[in-house]
Structure 1
Amino acid sequence: MAEKFIPAYRQSYEIIRDMILNGALPQGTKVVEEKLAAELGVSRTPIRESIRKLEQEGLIVNKKVVTPTEKDLRNTFQVRILLEGYSARCAATYLRDTELQALQECVRIGHTGSIDEIMSANERFHEIIVQASNNAAMIDIIDRMQSVIYLFRRTVVYYNRPFLIDEHERIYEAIQARDGQQAELLMQQHLQADLEFCLHLLSDSRK
């Protein structure tokens, strides 16, 4: 099977995002297009597009690197709990059989896959549900928080948060049963558990 083509802009964005989140580009570092383009071996155009997206997501402000604060994390999850909870309710009404099968496959990979496969399946699981809202404004809001969401996703997967995939499975089962109220509640509880787990780790790292 042919490898999926990833645009230069997307590759650059992911590399720079990860450099910020893992500390390779420390807080306060001035972001210089020419330097990053030389380091990554690409033209300035994809770098410029990457920086623009990272500015939208709040990781670069006034051409300098910032890192999400505890307040940023709480604010992000308050929005996600509202919007993704609603999206799960919509998914129970509108998802087609092919999309339900895709959700089920995400759960299966979550139970059996490698770390990288679980990361991708986790992202896909939430993406399918958010798209079910069919609300472009809501989808755009979630998209603008992708870096902070990615930080959380990496934390809960790499630190093996208990019951993470079991919760996905219960959300899938509620959606499959067309129980919108239960799907919404389970998604809200799932994201709240993600938040509490990450804040606990953040607190421990500061001791």
Structure 2
Amino acid sequence: MKIVLGSDRSRPAFHQSYEIIRDKILNGELPGGTKIVEEKIAGELGVSRTPIRESIRKLEHEGLIVNKRVVKPTEKDLRNRFQVRILLEGYSAQCAASYLTENEINSLYECVEIGKKGNFEEMMSANERFHEIIVNASNNPVMIDIIDQMQSMIYLFRKTVIFYNRPHLIDEHEEIYKAIQERDGQKAELLMNSHLQADLDFCLHLIDS
């Protein structure tokens, strides 16, 4: 199906192309292993190959495309990325216990409640917001930028663990929230580390099965 860009002329074709391709990858329309053909996508979107080429470069930087194919993470890929996440988000959880305001802590609570009662899209949004609040608590622009560069891949992992209903996911969020509310940084860090390790183990189990 052809999708012609241009409804929002204030935004460059590159940005629009990037978002469309990224969404197709994240929603599974372009599954792992799919070969990315510039000419084909350019024809579908009604643009030249230049913005498509730029989009692919950005998606390669984010790890969603590797060697012109949609990423199909290996066990090693998963372990490497989660190792970085555990280090950064564990530290951020410790910072959150010290520096988050009461309003931000209340926002964490709201994310937990939505996770218990919301639909899939609401849970995805709440999950993303929960981790975003905690990461920003580090107040370290370098760390925040590294996580930001990994956001697409992180989103893919989060979608997997929510879609396949990983056990105890929201319970773990609630425990992290309580540790932060109690200003117990060491406990918050340990809980976040365990939470992300459980995400990794769940993703690896899906690959094996």
Tell me which interval the TM-score lies in, with the shorter structure as reference length: 0.7 to 0.9
Q: Does 1:118 align with 2:123?
A: yes
Aligned residue in 1 for 2:33: 27
- Aligned equivalents of 2:55 and 2:144: distance in 1? 19
What amino acid maps onto 1:80 in structure 2?
R
TM-score by length of 1: 0.84
Gaps of 5+ in 1: 1-5
Aligned residue in 1 for 2:7: none
Residues 85, 187 of structure 1: 8 Å contact kept: yes
Aligned residue in 1 for 2:26: 18
SS of structure 2 residue aligned to 1:82: helix
Matches within 5 A, 1:6-85: 8=16, 11-18=19-26, 22=28, 24=30, 27=33, 29-32=35-38, 34-40=39-45, 47-48=52-53, 50-85=55-90
Residues 174, 183 of structure 1: 8 Å contact kept: yes
Matches within 5 A, 1:122-201: 122-201=127-206
Shift of 1:146: 2.1
Residues 88, 130 of structure 1: 8 Å contact kept: yes
Residues 17, 147 of structure 1: 8 Å contact kept: no
Name the count of aligned residue pairs: 196
Q: Tell me which moved more, 139-148 or 91-100.
A: 139-148
- Aligned equivalents of 1:158 and 1:173: distance in 2? 25
TM-score by length of 2: 0.83
Residues 124, 158 of structure 2: 8 Å contact kept: yes
Shift of 1:133: 0.7
Aligned identity (percent) is 67
Q: Tell me which moved more, 54-63 or 166-175.
A: 54-63
- Aligned equivalents of 1:51 and 1:183: distance in 2? 37
- Aligned equivalents of 2:130 and 2:97: distance in 1? 14
Gaps of 5+ in 2: 1-10
- Aligned equivalents of 2:135 and 2:21: distance in 1? 22
Residues 68, 148 of structure 1: 8 Å contact kept: no
